[in-house]
Structure 1
């Protein structure tokens, strides 16, 4: 009986610690942006942003000073739920970036961490090429 109580308490404390860590988690940057220039076209790959459920990395293409493409190179995929939410969010985030022409985008409900990681990686890629 004592052993069961100890296991339950340890499990509860572990779950509590995980929830607190997730709630205050800030994305960690794993690398710097990579830039490739070709005539009037610039492609910049943002850093890998490490999140609780995986990594987010974004590549942006700018032609004649306008964002013409954005691609998520990596999205969280540690479980099917994370992958589904992240994949759906990436479509919405891409559309918003192309419309707003900036990394100042809204968080997608249900994919808050992915959205923030996407925006951080994108902003670093834009900063690397001096795009405001």
Structure 2
């Protein structure tokens, strides 16, 4: 019984320590870019190859979301999130995990028809709207 109490306490302390870590803030302004390099959950292809098309900014409850898609023909080779909500710590926390997942899913799906990231519904909806806008502008469609 005593071992269970010690184990539970140690586990709880570890979880509290992990949750208290502050996410890294890559910039000071409200608009930051999120790339698709391997460190961000994207492909290893450089985002500069092919042609780039920026989608319309999609207004969400927490602020605009806008993406720039790099295409090789009709194939999506990279996605940069050029604008997203990052006004407070919670926005930054949500988007630090949601945007790389959205980039990864969109590149894998080769379309804007991707799943919403749990806990980031508004960002996900804005992302797919802007991505579809960019694909439409590029003539890549769905």
What is the TM-score with the length of structure 2 in the denominator?
0.62
98, 108, 112: which one aligns with 2:107: 98
Compute the displacement of 1:84 (Å): 1.2
* Distance (whole Å) between structure 2 residues aligned to residue 116 and residue 55 of structure 1: 11
Compute the displacement of 1:55 (Å): 1.5
> Do structure 1's residue 118 and structure 2's residue 127 form an aligned pair?
yes
Compute the displacement of 1:71 (Å): 0.9
Task: Give the number of equivalent residue pairs.
Answer: 93
1:103–1:122: 8 Å Cα contact kept in structure 2?
A: yes
**What value does the CA root-mean-square deviation take over the aligned residues?**
1.3
Partner of 2:88: 79
Higher-strand-fraction structure: 1
SS in 1 for 2:134: helix
Structure 1 stretches of 4+ moved >3 Å: none
Deviations 1:71-92 (A, max 9, x none): 1111111211112102211000
Partner of 2:60: 51
Deviations 1:58-108 (A, max 9, x none): 000001321000011111112111121022110000000110100001000
Where structure 2 has 5 or more consecutive residues not aligned to the other structure, the ranges are 1-48
Partner of 1:68: 77
Where structure 1 has 5 or more consecutive residues not aligned to the other structure, the ranges are 1-39
1:75–1:83: 8 Å Cα contact kept in structure 2?
A: no
